[in-house]
Amino acid sequence: MRLPSNLRMKLARDFARVKSQGSSQAGKYLVLGALRVEELTEFQFGLITGGRLGNAVVRNRIRRLLREIVRAHRTEILPGWQMVIIARWRAPQATLEELENDWLRLARRMSLIKPKTPAAPRTPAP
């Protein structure tokens, strides 16, 4: 299932606004920048994979992995946020699971995703 194009940030001014007015957190593989925008009914995200990461094949692979992470957690992301995900130099060596754990840790720290609700304790069957 593809992500709708309205969830993607495409304009350079949107990226610049998140950078100048928003806050950011750095992880081992990613930097996550976010800005609260009240007019948004959903969220928007943008990806930055700089040339230092490697050639186009490497950068496109990282972008595909990051889009998959956002797609997998789409229902958990709170509406009204613009976020920019920047891949750090270690990202090409990371697995999908490592990137996902790093993104989840940063998103929870910045309160971008719904908090986990504790599971109800199970009662033993008689």
**CATH for 5-108 (3.40.50.300, 2.60.40.10, 1.10.645.10, 3.30.230.10):** 3.30.230.10
Residue 115, pLDDT score = 79
pLDDT tens for each residue of 20-64: 999 999 999 999 999 999 999 999 999 999 999 999 999 999 999
pTM of the model: 0.87
Question: For residue 15, what are the CA distances in angstroms to 11, 43, 67, 69, 119?
Answer: 7, 14, 17, 20, 37
Supply 62's token pair.
Answer: 């990282």
70 phi and psi angles, rounded to 5 deg: -65, -45
What pLDDT band is residue 3 in, cutting at 50, 70 and 90? confident
pLDDT tens for each residue of 95-118: 999 999 999 999 999 999 987 766
Q: How many CB atoms lie within 10 A of CB 126?
A: 3
Q: Is the pLDDT of residue 91 over 60?
A: yes
Q: Is the pLDDT of residue 121 over 80?
A: no
Mean pLDDT, residues 74-83 taken together: 94
CA distance 56 to 116: 36
Q: Is the pLDDT of residue 125 over 70?
A: no
pLDDT tens for each residue of 64-73: 999 999 999 9
